[in-house]
Amino acid sequence: MGDNFIYISSRQVRWLIVLSFVFALILDSINIIGQNYLFLPPFTLLVLLYWAGHFLDYTYMGTAFAIGLFADTIYQNTLGVHALIYVVLTFAMLRHRLRFRGYTIWQQSLNIVGFCFIYQIMHLFTLAPKLDDQQQLAYWIMPLVGGVLWALIALSLNRLSQQNVTEN
C-alpha cells in the first residue's frame, strides 16, 4: 500500500486534493440538517488525515487549521474549536505517518477509529453537546463508522491519485 506513493508528489495531485476537500465540506454540511446524522464522521477530517498520511512533502498543518475554520463556520461553532482539534490530530498523524503508510487498509482503519475516538473526546470537552440516550449511541458509534468509511475513502483516493499521476 505505502510503496505506491513514494514517487507521487502532492503537487502532482493538487487539484484532486482541493476537490476532495470541497467534496468533504459538502458532505459535512449534511450534519447541519439535524441530529439524526451524529453517526457520520467529519469527512474533512478523514480526507485531511488521508492526505497528511500519504504525502511526505507537505505537512498540512496550515490546511488543517483552514479546514477547521471552515468546519467551525459550517457547524456555527466557536471559531477555532475544530481548527484546534484538526491541528492536534494532524500533528498526531504526522508523528507516525511513515508507519501508517505501510499498514494495510484495515490496519489503517483501526488507527482511524482511534483518531475519530480522540476527535469525539476533544469535541465533547470543548463543545459539550447536549445529547439524549439515543443520540449518545449515535455519537459514540461515529468512530466505528469512520473506520469503515476510511476504507472507502482511502481506496478511492488511492485510485484517483494514481490515475492522475499516470495521466500527467
- pLDDT digits 0-9 by tens, 62-100: 999 999 999 999 888 899 999 999 999 999 999 999 999
Residue 145 exposure: Cα atoms within 13 Å on the Cβ side: 14
How many structural domains comprise the chain? 1
The pLDDT score that the predictor gives to residue 55 is 83
- Read off the pLDDT band of 126 (50, 70, 90): very high
Answer yes or no: is 167 within a domain.
no
The pLDDT score that the predictor gives to residue 25 is 92
Rounded to the nearest integer, the mean pLDDT of the chain is 88
CA 144 – CA 8 distance, rounded (Å) = 30
The pLDDT score that the predictor gives to residue 58 is 85
- pLDDT (mean) for 27-39: 78
**Which three three-digit cell numbers place residue 14?**
493538487
Answer yes or no: is 75 within a domain.
yes
Query: Per-residue pLDDT for 2 more than 80?
Result: no
Answer yes or no: is 92 within a domain.
yes
Q: Which residues of 100-119 are buried (b: 16+ CB within 10 A; e: fewer)?
A: bbebeeeebbebbbebbbeb
User: How many other C-beta atoms can be found within 10 angstroms of the C-beta atom of residue 73?
Assistant: 12
Answer yes or no: is 168 within a domain.
no
- pLDDT (mean) for 7-32: 85
Answer yes or no: is 150 within a domain.
yes
Angle, alpha carbons 106-25-32 (nearest 5°): 105
The residue range of the domain holding 90 is: 2-29+38-160
What percent of the chain is predicted at pLDDT more than 90? 60
- Read off the pLDDT band of 168 (50, 70, 90): low
The pLDDT score that the predictor gives to residue 6 is 45
CA 159 – CA 53 distance, rounded (Å) = 16
